[in-house]
Amino acid sequence: MRRHLGVLAIWLLVPASASCHTAAVVPEQLLDGNSVAYFRFDGLDPHRQAYEKTALAEVMRGDLGNLFAYVGTVFKDTIGPTIAKEQVLSGRPAKNLKEIRRAFDQLPLALAYLGRQGLVVGVEVIDVKKPRAQVTLIFPNAGDDPQGASIPSLFRLTAALAEVKIQESKLAGRTIFQLDTNETEPSRVAWWQEGKHWVLTIGTEGPAHTLDLVQKKRPSLADNPLYKSLLAFKKYETVARGFIDLERVVKLARSVDPMAAGVIEDLGLSNLKSLTMQFGFEGREERSTVVLSMPGERRGLLRPVVNRGEVEVDHLPALPPDTNSVAVLNVDWGAMYDLLVPTGEAVVGRLAPEAKPKIQEGIKALNQALGVDLRHDLLDQLGPLTVVYNSPGEGAVSLGFGFAFQVRDAKKLNQTLNTLFKSLPGLVGTDVSLKKENYHGAELNTVKVGEKGIFVVPSYTIHQGWMVIGLFPQTVEGYILRSGGKYAVWKPTPLAGEVLATVKKESPQSRILSQTISDPRPALKQLFAFGPLIAGILETTAPGSFDVRKIPNSQSVTEPLFPNVSVMLDDGNAIRLESHVSLEVPFPLAGLDNYFLTFAGFGLFARFIFGM
């Protein structure tokens, strides 16, 4: 129990009280200029007008928003007394119980503050050999916000639960609070008020390390080129942004020892520069742009494995009409093989030179045992497009997944698979049989494995230029039926074509790596269909625990939503992922409402309080 509460204390740690330091400072001036990671969620207050136009805002203005508010109240009224009861049974001081009750009374206000004003996080790694690192959390304007004034109660809660003493001291005109270092060594946990902000530091460094930034003894994040590049982004209104300085991460990893530096070189990671993230709003959409920068010659794992063909969502195999997610990938599987094998040989050769020859020997032995050359007989027969899709109607509990591979030479591929399945029993030491039958003019292949406990029946067909694979025959049968033109097929949302056309216009020289279309509505309908049943069961076992009437009708949640669309492209210097969504499941950080932390907090408390 104590260990779990100690971790909880670190994650929820926020300031208790302090005298306000009057110097004006922006949060990024409190983060080191060499931070390896940075993230800022502005809160919704500065972006309320843009947010209110989104589909998510429309949903949250209705019954779903009321549900979130109700869950926050239940959370406060249920979890708090439960923890207090445990404290009483443990013989803890009455003062602890008072702090716990006060904190849970203030919790809705604290969560509302975070949703409105946001949070800033920075990660600094000073040395990896003699571990020195610090995580800094900044709560913007919390010292000057009526709801932000509730934040200190969370610290009092976590300190009481973890039974850690608080030490108070003065430094550079500030009142500094720290957890007793005897309890936290080698780490330090400190907090204080800096101007209007509250600052929390967790790591090996003391408060003076951060205050040096205020006194300009070291460059701050405000001068960091990556940070400035985030501010220069103007494609749409952003509510959150961040980066990981991969170049610095690689440099730190190289410094561990020469072996680590060599492995990084073998993996081809030397060219990694940064990962930047932008999240925001555009019209009714939640938007995000994630960029992996890696200029220069790509080697190892970074070597391109895309085909020259285009990703065309209008020319896919006949997918089920109720398909709720589709990912179209542009992959050269032969090139993938040529990337992974040499890279693996290089890494193994460096770590265990005597084992390097065994890789090719193992591949040769495997090909001989199977009677096929996996590289040429199998992978070379697959075309440029790969499709992964899911249909709730073709498999319960996410078993309706299908995989479709474009086929270059159907006859050659069919011969290869026939030989492979004949050879498998001798290789794996168990009965594996392949049953073939004609199904509406196509050959349906069903794999039977003679082992207890294997409940799936993998099946496939090679038909009309595609090899379609399913976990059960029904997935493949559905494809064959739809290919005849008699049955309804899935149609991509118009947004998919619009997004694809836009990225092609903006980056005409870029290669499209993938496009993903996912519809959040079916999953939400299932969730809210089961919700009343679950709430009803809870009510019978614990009367008054949850009001089933608070669960909204699924239509009130799903009506404003639309399918989400993402496109990944490569311009030779960076890989970029552009997303246009109505609602991610789970919620993306870009679209969190004022109550977004309620569910996160509930999960966190449930894990540490009840999951012991």
Mapped to the 3 state alphabet, what secondary structure does 421-441 carry? HHHHHHHHCCCEEEEEEEECC
DSSP three-state, residue 237: strand
Is 521 part of any domain? no
The pTM score is 0.86
Residues 79 and 226 in one domain: yes
Backbone angles phi, psi at 276, to 5 degrees: -115, 150
Considering 439, 459, 494, which residue would you say is the last residue of a domain? 494
Q: Is the peptide bond before 552 cis (omega within 30 degrees of 0)?
A: no
Residues 256 and 347 in one domain: no
What residue spans of 44-150 are helical by DSSP H?
Answer: 48-51, 55-60, 63-89, 94-117
Residues 257 and 329 in one domain: no
Residues 58 and 181 in one domain: yes
Evaluate if residue 605 carries a pLDDT over 50.
no
Q: Tokens 């103007």 appear where?
A: 234
Residues 250 and 329 in one domain: no
Judged on CB neighbours under 10 Å (0-12, 13-18, 19+), 11 is exposed
Distance CA 584, CA 365 (A): 45
pLDDT of residue 395: 79
Q: Tokens 């509250």 appear where?
A: 198
pLDDT tens digits for 140-170?
999 888 888 877 777 767 776 777 888 899 9
Evaluate if residue 22 carries a pLDDT over 60.
no
Task: Return the structure tokens found at 96.
Answer: 């602890």
Of residues 272, 292, 288, the one with CA closest to residue 280: 288
Mean pLDDT of 422-444: 91
Residues 185 and 322 in one domain: no
Q: Tokens 């205020």 appear where?
A: 214
**Max Cα distance, the chain (Å):** 83
pLDDT of residue 309: 61
pLDDT of residue 458: 94
Is 288 part of any domain? no
Backbone angles phi, psi at 180, to 5 degrees: -50, 115
pLDDT of residue 39: 98
Residues 474 and 605 in one domain: no
Residues 45 and 151 in one domain: yes
Residues 363 and 223 in one domain: no
3-state helix, strand, coil in the chain (%, to 5): 45, 25, 30
Evaluate if residue 611 carries a pLDDT over 60.
no
- Give the Cβ contact number of residue 315 at 10 Å: 10
Q: Judging by DSSP bridges, how do beta strands 466-470 and 401-407 pair with one another? A: antiparallel
Range of the domain at 93: 2-265+573-610
Overall domain count for the chain: 2
Evaluate if residue 465 carries a pLDDT over 80.
yes
pLDDT of residue 18: 39
Residues 24 and 163 in one domain: yes
Considering 494, 527, 556, which residue would you say is the last residue of a domain? 494
Considering 494, 523, 554, which residue would you say is the last residue of a domain? 494
Distance CA 590, CA 118 (A): 11
Mean pLDDT of 261-289: 94
